Amino acid sequence: MKKILSPLAVIVLTLMLSACGYDGSFRYPCQDPANWENDECKPPICIVNGACPEDLVGDIANQDSVSGDTIDEQVTGEEPSE
């Protein structure tokens, strides 16, 4: 009987723990692309608390999802100077 309960317990615990996972929300408001135009997600406000989209999600905040070009490249046609 113990040979049956042990694997069954592992399966039940695995299923229970997997139900506690990701709920689809963002930890910080500025991680959500829908909020990137809000004042709290634009400098200088976001710089103070380190919540700028560039800080939270990396360079993807400045890229076009289709071409991969940065916003600067799309506007000026040149790569941004560093």
Give 36-46 pLDDT, tens digit per residue. 999 999 999 99
Confidence of residue 76 (pLDDT cuts 50, 70, 90): low
What span, in angstroms and rounded, lies between the C-alpha atoms of 35 and 51? 11
Tell me how far CA of residue 16 lies from CA of 9, 19, 24, in angstroms: 10, 5, 18
Q: What's this model's pTM, rounded to 2 decimal places?
A: 0.46
Is the pLDDT score of 29 beyond 80? yes
Give 48-63 pLDDT, tens digit per residue. 888 899 888 877 666 5
Spatial contact of 58 and 47, defined as CB atoms under 8 Å apart: no
**How many Cβ atoms from other residues are within 10 Å of residue 41's Cβ?**
22
